[in-house]
Each structure stands twice: as C-alpha cells, then as structure tokens.
Amino acid sequence: MKRVESELIENVEELLREKKVDLFIGYESGSLPLQTSPCFVTQQEDVQKLVWNSFCANNLSVYLSSLMRELPASTKVGILCKGCDSRSLVNLIVEKQVKREDVVIVGISCPGIVNIDKITNKLDGRKVLEVEENDEEIILKYDVGEDRFSRMDNLYESCKNCVHPTPSVYDVLIRVGEHSPKSVTPDPMIAEFSQKSRTERWQIFEQELSRCVRCYACRNACPNCYCKECFAEQTKPRWFGLTNELSDVLFYHIVRILHQAGRCVDCGACARACPEKINLRLFTRVLVDEVRERFDYVPGLSPNDSPLLAMFSNDDSQEFMVEAD
Amino acid sequence: MTKEFVVHKDDFNEFLTLLIKVYTVFGPTGDDGSNGIKRIERPEQFKLHHGTSHFSFKHFFLPQTEKLFSFDLASNKVDAPSEEQGDDKYSILIGLRPCDAKAVELLDQVFIERDPKDIFYAKRRNKTRIVSFACREPRSTCFCGSVGCGPDSEAGADVVIYELKDRYVMKAITGGGDELLNSANIYLNAVSKEDLAEKEKTMIEAKNHLVNVFTSDGLDGKISDFDASYWKRICQKCLGCGICTYFCPTCHCFDIIDEVDGSKGRRIRSWDSCMYPLFTLHASGHNPRPTRKERMRQRIMHKFVYSMEQYGRRFCVGCGRCVTHCPVNLDLRFVIKEIVEAK
Amino acid sequence: MNNPYIPMPTRIERITTENEARDIKTFDLSFVNNEDRDSFLFLPGQFAELSLLGFGECPIGIASSPTEVGHLLFTVKRTGFVTKHLHRAEVGDTIGIRGPFGNSYPLDLMEGKNVLIIGGGFAFTTLRATAMYMLEGSNRARFKELTIVYGARSPGELIYKQELWDWEKSTDLNMFITVDKGDETWKRREGFVPTVLEEIAPSSQDTVALVCGPPVMIKFTLPVLQKLGFPPDRIFLSLEMRMKCGIGKCGRCNIGHKYVCVDGPVFSCAHLGELPQEY
Amino acid sequence: MKPKSNKGNELGKDQSFEPKIVAFLCNWCSYAGADLAGVSRFQYPTNIRIIKVPCSGRINPLYIVKALYNGVDGVLVSGCHPGDCHYISGNYFARRKFALVKKFLEYVGIEPERVQFSWISAAEGVRFAQIIDKVTNDIRKLGPLTYFRRGSARTGDST
C-alpha cells in the first residue's frame, strides 16, 4: 500500500505544481484508527497528508456537484476515484452536473474497502495503536499483542460483489489490485430476499426502516442526490410529515430509492453513512439488478451515455401492464 | 453527609427487582437502535453499554416526535393534553453515563429553569430519577475531561453507581437518590475504606484513559473569531446531514408544524437541526445561514460560546457521539484544537 | 403548569386591505375569552404568534397600541404558507394567538426626549403602534417632539393611509410621507426614505431613532443617521427572523447568543454591533 | 376557511369494503376513453377518483406514493398506447419508469395489484370499463391498504 501512496502523492504533487489542478480531493488519515477522512489539498506542502489504504470508504464524488456551483468556472478540480466513485462521477457528467474537462481524475483500481464495523465489533474495547496492511491481511497492533484479519472476509458487501473495480474514466491510473471484473451476477442478498413471501418482505422493510431517525445522511452521502431543493424539504407543497413515524420514514425512503432508478452505481455510500446501520443496500441494489437485466444498462460506464430514463426503445417489455380479462 | 453504600454484584439483580416493584424502570436493553430505551420488567433485560451508548438518552425526555395538542377543525376546538402527571409513581432512568446525566441537567436549564417552563419536558423530567454508571473505561472518542465533565461527574444524576471488581459503590447525590436507595435498602451494606480507595483508583485510571486533545481552560474567549478563515476550511468535508445534532445529548432544537387528517389534526413538534437548510430560511427567501460554513460555525459557537453567555454553562459534555457517528470523520476535538491554536 | 404552546382563541372582527396589490391586510382581532384579553398585556414593539389550526403559526408584530382599547391589529403580508391561508380568512373566523413575545421599543429611554420614527413599506406595523401610543392624550406629554418619516415603493403601497393623512394635519407631530415613485395623482414628496431623511435632517440632539423597514432601506438609512450625529445606542432596529416557538426554546432565531424572539426583536445598533453580523 | 383536504369520506361503514382508487388518466386517450364509456352508458365501478394529467409521462412516482400515503387503497395510471401519444414519446418514457416503479414496490412488499398501469385509447370505452372493473375487483379482494397509510394525521393541506 505504501507504493500506492507514494505514487499517488507524486501524481498529485505534479498536478499541483503544473497548475493542472487548483484543488485535489483525496483521503487523509482519520482521527480514529481504522478510519480515513476526505481532505481537500490546495498547497503542495499538504500533499504529504494524502493516504491510500483499505479504509478509504467515502465516495468523494459527492463533493463535486456543490463544488462546481460554488467555485469560479475556470477552477480545475482533481479527485481520487475508486471504481464506484468514478462511475458516480461519470453519472454526474452524464447528468450535466460536472463537465469532464473541469475534472482531473486520478483513478485507483480498487482492491476492495474493509468494513470497519466488522473489525471494531471484534475489538471489545482494546485500543488500537497502529494499523498495517498487506494484500491479504489487516494487522492491528495493540499496546500488547496484535490481531490479523483477512481483508477478503471483512470487505463491504458492495465491494464483495464489485464488478467494476477499475475506474471507468481516469486521467492517471494507479494499479493496486490486479483482478479483472468478476462475473456479472445478481446480488445474492437480493435474490435471497426476493424468495421470501410478500408479507415477510414488507415486515423486514418496515423493521429495518423503523430505526431511521431521518438524519438524511444516506441522501447527503450519495453523489446522485444533488437536488437544490429535495422533495423531502419542499414546503410548497409539503409532500409528507416531518415525524419519524413509520409512514413518513417509508415515504421518504421509497421515493428517494425510486429517484436512484437507473442511476445508482451501488457504491454503498448510503449504507455506510447510516448511523443506525440500516441495510439500505437491501433496497437500493434491487433496481441496479433490474435495470441491468431488463434494459441491459449499467450506469456510470462512459461519459457519452445518456441517462436510462431519458431514453426509451420501441420494444421495451410491457408485460406488467394490466389487461382486461 | 453524602450517603454511599455497597451492593454486591450478585445482589444487583435482586436490588433492581426491588426497584422495579417501587418504580417504573427504563433503561438500555441491548438493542442499539435509536429506540433502544425500553421498559425494564426483569433485571436480566437491563444491558449496560460498554462506554457511551450508541444513541443519546435525550429522546427519553425530548422525543423525536411529540404531539403538542390535537384540534378539531369543525368546531375549532383545541384539546390540550392533560396537565396532571398521570400516575404519580416515580420512574427511574438507569444506565446513563455521567456525560448523559450532565446533558439532561443542561436540558433542564432550557426547558425547566428558564421561563416559560415547557410542560411536556417537565412532565417527564420531574417524575424521573436518574441512575448513572461512572465510566471505568472511556472510549477513544470520549473527551469529557476536556469540557469540564468527567468519568466520575455527578451532575444531573440522583444516584451514581461506581463498578468495582465484585461490588458496586452507590452514591446518593440528591434527596431523590436517597429515597431511591432506601427503597431497596436490604441490599445496601456500609461502605468500607478499601471500597472508597478502590473507587478512587478506578476513577483515576479512567481519567488516564482519556485523550485530552484540548483542555477546557484553554477555551474561554478563544472561539470568538467569527470571520476567521478556518471556518471555511473546517466545514469543507461536512456533508450537511443531521447526525451530529440528532445524536448529541444536548442538542434540543425542534420544529413545530400542523398535520391534518380530514377534520381532525394535531400540532406536533419534532427534532430539527441547525445543519439543515430550512432551519433559518425566511419566507422572503433570505437565509442568514445559507451554506454549511455558517451552520457548522453556529453549531460550535452555540455549544462552546453562546451557551456560556445564555446559561453560564458549556453545552458540550464530551460524549464523543458526534465524532463516532460522523460519516466523514469530522472530529470536533481536532476542530476545537485548530480553532484554539489559531487564536 | 400552563402550556406555552396552546394558542388563545380570537375572532376576526374586521379585515382591511391596506395596499393596491391587495397582499397586505390588517386583521382586527378580539379575544373570545375575557380573561385571555385581560392577561394579554403588551407594549408597542412586541409581537405575537398568529396560529391557524391546520396550517401553522407565523410571528407578526402587534400593529395596535395598548391604548387603543377594544382593538388588536395585525398587518400581514402574504408571503409564505401560513400567511397565504391567513389571507383567505374571513370576518368571524377564529384564529389563535400566542404571546405577547419579545421586548418593546425603549419607552423609558424615549421618555422626555425627541423621537424620530423611520418606516418603510409594510414594516410600519409596530412603529404605528408606537406612534399611536405616544400620541395618546396622557402619554403625549411624556415625549418631546415626534417626527415620522415613512415611505413606500408607490402611493398604492402606503399602509394605514387614513392615519397618515390625519397625522399630516395634526400639530402634535411632524409627518413626512414619501414614495419611491409617485404617479400623476401624487402631489406629496417623492424620493427614497434615506434621501428624504437627509433633506429633513432632524437634529440628533437628545433624540431617539426607531427604524424598521426592508434591509435595503436600513442599509442606506443607518449611514445617514450616523452623519446626523445619532450615536449607535440611540438607534433602535426591529429585526425579522424565522421563528417557531417564540419563547427561546426551539433554538433557531439566534443572533450570536441573543434570541430575537426573547431578547429582541428590538435591538439598539450598539447592541447589534457587538453581535455577529449573521441576520 | 377549512384547510381543503383531499381525504374522501371515512372508511365504508358497511361490511363490504369499497376501495378508494385514484386513476391518473392521460388527457388525450384514457380520459377520452373514460368519456366514451360514460357517454355510451357502460357501467363500471365508481371507486375510482379520476385525476386528469396531460400525459402518462407526467406521472412522477412521488404522486403514486403520495396517493397511497394519503389513504387510497390502489392507484391506476393509464395512458395512450405506444405510438399514439399526443407528445410522441411521453408514454415510452413512462413505460420504463413504470416498469421500475412496479418492480420496486412489489419487491418491498406492496401487493402488485395495488399499483397498476394500462394503455387505453380514446376509442376503447368498453375496454376502459372492463379494466376499471378488473382493477377494482383485484383491489377489493386485497382489502384496505392499512400498512402504509399515513399515521393518525396527514400533513397540512397541500395546495
């Protein structure tokens, strides 16, 4: 990982030195062990702060839509993109929120991000002093003794099923994991959930979302959610209540997920941001599979795609239409 | 003469059973969700969290959604909730940490001490005794030591329980705490010198666990540069979600709106957050806090500066929940450190 | 323990449309219960929360003076969700009221001094209440000279027209009415309030200035007042902020450590100067 | 000066449950189909509340969820047959959207019959009556939609 970090720092230093970029968005080590935090580098001397490890979880493309509105038109923004981050960025380009020429993308072929909750649950209070990692393992060093965790077993669900670890668009690529895209499979979790009976599915849907406190972290962490005025905060008209009662919470999540149809790249940022650890991917991933099977469409692969729901074809299937019997 | 007693660990369940007979007891039951506080009917249900709990105890006194009154549009009649206390049986909220207990005392300043009294909050608060557990092992994100609180703080609690190796030292802080302990006095034993010494030792150990990124005496007057450049840099990675305010035990802002169903309706108040765009949006479209910079600045200034002038108290108890739950790991401790050092 | 969130029922006695654009109306309310009326003691400058069941509440300045017995006036401009539905109310409807909230204009400081009132557009409500209070028989003697400078965008936008004409004729005060742009029937003064104020140039000697109007008017009026020699602690502004509870609990209307609903809405410029410029 | 609320009457008090169904009909075809059914005196159940929209493409999934949230028991969205759309491609875009809406609502556990889509042209008065009949019977069998309906009170009048 150290090689990748130094390569990254070299690239960013060069970008800044040659004024190709006014600002670079990357990761810095977090204030807590096993965590990283987004960081915005503008000066050359801050470049040393940049890191790359298995905990660089945030989808940095989320900052681009608001940045492009605030910064003067000519500013060039550099960004570090994993596979899914780059697809979110391509989606922003396709939806005209970001211009490709305004962004310099340093891509990383992503080996998969480790889910820190799976590890911290096993710590039971011991304090981690230092974290090291190699291609297979995460090594946690305590004041006395250490623990080894296999990377593959502790990846986030969205990383386990990742089909596009290499960024779909980049200016510079840093090779990390050498693995070709996995076979295209519907997510096993979705397939298994679909087998359940209707009432059971609704009961799980209600149960999971009954813990929601409506903090909107899932929406604010998602690069696709860039609307200036979200339907959830509209007051003329107010579509649904402000309470955290079940019907309001379900209304918000159903409509937000429907807004991701044909746009969600399944990066898992919403599920990671949720403080209540609600398994949101169980409900967002279904449309990702449906969109691939029904329309053979995968969002975020090339900037000259057009959005799924902005196109149609004459022979789209319509078996679901009701017919008079 | 503060009263301290000892309860052996294996008597604790019986001790709790006696309390359950006299009071209605609420506490954490192991479920980590935001509705983690439940009624405790049997002592085994009570599961104390390791360090601070995932959620804050605020929503026991200030629920996320609360009906102020219901009304009937046909008759334009308002029926307010009954004023009297319901059954006058006291209830106990057990399982708080010292920071949570102090947070409740801070909320008391806003909703009870300062006129006009908020009867919804007061109705629950006046009838509830708080039993907190001193911290033996604060989490790595705890910074109560930096804001004038501590793992052994007694503020806001009626009874503080110190966990030792095989026994608990229970200290009654208020008259209510006294009464509470007396109602289960058959399990109370006199406290010995060794107990007190061991209690002191664990508390000192706990304090050494704390990583003080900044110190409270360094704060006064330091966070005052309203137009400093660091505010813009600090908030750059903030996503503007409401996690830090909804999980903070001292955040008490709320919104009031009406909801109608046919001819019946209700006016409710629900949690609100200064980090949300509508919080200060005027009907004319003007917004004194248009971007996340102003909102983050307001959140910090209110807890560390404005509350000192309004209530003479700092409205941060150092529980660290805003640090653990932030999706982008925006650590309040290092933000304060940066502000204090920039002065 | 009385519940601070329960509105007191009032009946709408009279509704007068104040301006040509018909989006400013004055509502004259009367309390349904007498003990509410007796407990509702207020001073000019304070505000109240008007409550419409099913829609919500909105903070509106009290436009009538406590001396106008039997009248409780609120002038409301249709801008938001609640005010839009308030404008659909008819005479005889019941609306709720909570308050009085906030502080009043500094009547004790104004005692025995000249008073200069500067108003703009529809923000003349609490200033009208103060003027009526000062012109009331027994009160008039407590204050020395009263000067009012009031302006609006066009003649049709002037509110309380009848009182304006009466005050113009009255000798108890000097009334200056102006409009940004008059029309053919307009014979009085034309010009922005700050420029008119500069022309009149009332002396700042022993005078308190009360200012309330749209932000742009305040932005250009304050320098004129400073030029005329008004010290910041004798210029008073009434501020507007988004409010919900009105009793300093819901935490949204603060400027620095001051809540506009409890410590305001009237602030002296000196006081405002100490607070962060975030309003 | 009551807040205008679009809530129908209380639940049918008698035993046989009469569902409340919202039908978004596209102005050029389905609404005309409904007219034709009415003019030709074809009988069809009166459970539907018709909302005329310019095109089936105008339907935002937010409106469907809002209808279910406000207490109706089923939603029908009907537009022109592909190719007949007055705006050429409105129904084509809608078809993709409806496919995904139907899949998601069914996936999370809302009965498929609750939200139905159809193409009805201006000349198909008979077919309009038959489809309304089928949709109403489907939903009547399912019973009232209680598990998603708004809590005790609904948001203020939404105009």
Check CB contact under 8 Å for B260 and D5: yes
Q: What percent of chain D has pLDDT over 90?
A: 80
Query: Do residues B260 and D153 make contact, with C-beta atoms less than 8 angstroms apart?
Result: yes
Q: How far apart are CA B339 and CA A320, in angstroms?
A: 59
Residue of D nearest to B265 (CA): D153
The mean pLDDT value for C244-265 works out to 94
- Mean pLDDT (chain C) is 94
Please identify among residues 91-150 of chain D the ones whose CB lies closer than 8 Å to any CB of chain A. 92-93, 95-105, 107-111, 116-119, 127, 130-131, 133-135, 147-150
Residue D10: its chain B contacts at CB < 8 A?
Answer: 262
Query: Using one digit for the tens of pLDDT, what is the confidence trace for A202-214?
Result: 999 999 999 999 9
Q: Please tell me if residue B30 touches chain A, with a CB cutoff of 8 Å.
A: no
Q: Please tell me if residue A182 touches chain B, with a CB cutoff of 8 Å.
A: no
Q: Please tell me if residue D44 touches chain A, with a CB cutoff of 8 Å.
A: no
CB atoms within 10 A of CB B43: 16
| pLDDT at residue B84 in the model | 60
Burial class, A233, CB count within 10 angstroms (exposed 0-12 / middle 13-18 / buried 19+) = middle
| pLDDT at residue B309 in the model | 92
| pLDDT at residue D5 in the model | 42
> Is the pLDDT at A68 greater than 50, yes or no?
yes
Residue A238: its chain C contacts at CB < 8 A?
Answer: 81
Q: Please tell me if residue A224 touches chain B, with a CB cutoff of 8 Å.
A: no
More confident residue, C167 or B84: C167
> Is the pLDDT at C213 greater than 90, yes or no?
yes
Query: Do residues B293 and B211 make contact, with C-beta atoms less than 8 angstroms apart?
Result: no
| pLDDT at residue D1 in the model | 46
Residue D97: its chain A contacts at CB < 8 A?
Answer: 261, 309
Residue of D nearest to B70 (CA): D153
Task: Please give the order of strands across the beta sheet that includes B65-72.
Answer: B77-79, B65-72, B264-271, B254-261
> Is the pLDDT at D159 greater than 80, yes or no?
no
Residue C88: its chain D contacts at CB < 8 A?
Answer: 1
Query: Using one digit for the tens of pLDDT, what is the confidence trace for C65-78?
Result: 999 998 999 999 99
Check CB contact under 8 Å for D65 and A251: yes
Task: Please give the order of strands across the beta sheet that includes B24-28.
Answer: B37-40, B24-28, B91-96, B128-133, B159-163, B167-172, B3-8, B189-190
| pLDDT at residue A181 in the model | 62
More confident residue, B119 or D12: B119
Query: Do residues B126 and B113 make contact, with C-beta atoms less than 8 angstroms apart?
Result: no
Residue D115: its chain A contacts at CB < 8 A?
Answer: none
For B20, what's the count of Cα atoms within 13 Å in the CB-facing half-sphere? 16
Query: What 3 state SS string does chain A have?
Result: CHHHHHHHHHHHHHHHHCCCCCEEEEEEECCCCCCEEEEEECCHHHHHHECCCCCCCCCHHHHHHHHHHHCCCCCCEEEEECHHHHHHHHHHHHCCCCCHHHEEEEEECCCCCECHHHHHCCCCCCCCCEEEECCCEEEEECCCCEEEEECHHHECHHHHCCCCCCCCCCCEEECCCCCCCCCCCCCHHHHHHHHCCHHHHHHHHHHHHCCCCCCCHHHHCCCCCCCCCCHHHCCCCCCCCCCCCHHHHHHHHHHHHHCCCCCCCCCCHHHHHCCCCCCCHHHHHHHHHHHHHHHCCCCCCCCCCCCHHHCCCCCCCCCCCCCCC
Check CB contact under 8 Å for B270 and A40: no
- A236 to chain D, closest Cα gap in Å: 7
Chains with at least 3 CB pairs less than 8 angstroms from chain C: A, B, D
Alpha-helical regions (H) of B210-283? 230-234, 243-246
Q: How far apart are CA D48 and CA D120, in angstroms?
A: 15
Please identify among residues 6-45 of chain D the ones whose CB lies closer than 8 Å to any CB of chain B. 7, 10
- B248 to chain D, closest Cα gap in Å: 27
Query: Do residues A91 and A263 make contact, with C-beta atoms less than 8 angstroms apart?
Result: yes
Alpha-helical regions (H) of B30-160? 58-61, 98-108, 119-125
Q: What percent of chain D has pLDDT over 70?
A: 85
| pLDDT at residue D12 in the model | 45
How many Cβ contacts (< 8 angstroms) between chains A and B?
103
The mean pLDDT value for A269-277 works out to 95
Check CB contact under 8 Å for B261 and D5: yes
Of A229, A207, A206, A204, residue with least CA distance to A219: A229
Give the helix/strand (H/E) hosting C97: strand C94-101
| pLDDT at residue B201 in the model | 94
- Mean pLDDT (chain D) is 87
Chains with at least 3 CB pairs less than 8 angstroms from chain D: A, B, C
Q: Please tell me if residue A217 touches chain B, with a CB cutoff of 8 Å.
A: yes
Q: Please tell me if residue C85 touches chain D, with a CB cutoff of 8 Å.
A: yes
More confident residue, D151 or B125: B125
The mean pLDDT value for D50-75 works out to 95
Residue of B nearest to D10 (CA): B262
The mean pLDDT value for D4-24 works out to 66
| pLDDT at residue D140 in the model | 94
> Is the pLDDT at D8 greater than 60, yes or no?
no
Amino acid sitting at position A125 = G
> Is the pLDDT at A292 greater than 50, yes or no?
yes
Residue of A nearest to D130 (CA): A324
> Is the pLDDT at C61 greater than 80, yes or no?
yes
Residue of D nearest to A324 (CA): D131
Please identify among residues 61-100 of chain D the ones whose CB lies closer than 8 Å to any CB of chain A. 61-62, 65-66, 69, 76, 82, 89, 92-93, 95-100
More confident residue, C221 or D151: C221
The mean pLDDT value for A66-93 works out to 94
Q: How far apart are CA B67 and CA A36, in angstroms?
A: 41
Check CB contact under 8 Å for A312 and D127: no
Residue A322: its chain D contacts at CB < 8 A?
Answer: 76, 116-118, 131, 134-135
Mean pLDDT, consecutive 10-residue stretches, chain B (343 aa), reads 83 92 92 80 90 90 93 89 69 95 96 93 93 92 92 94 93 92 88 92 92 83 85 92 95 94 91 95 92 94 93 94 95 93 80
Query: Using one digit for the tens of pLDDT, what is the confidence trace for A115-163?
Result: 998 888 887 767 788 888 888 899 998 888 888 999 888 999 889 888 8
Prediction pTM value: 0.93
Reported residue count of chain D is 159
Q: How far apart are CA C127 and CA A264, in angstroms?
A: 56
How many Cβ contacts (< 8 angstroms) between chains A and C?
3
> Is the pLDDT at C21 greater than 70, yes or no?
yes
- Mean pLDDT (chain A) is 92
| pLDDT at residue B31 in the model | 75
> Is the pLDDT at D40 greater than 70, yes or no?
yes
- B119 to chain C, closest Cα gap in Å: 6
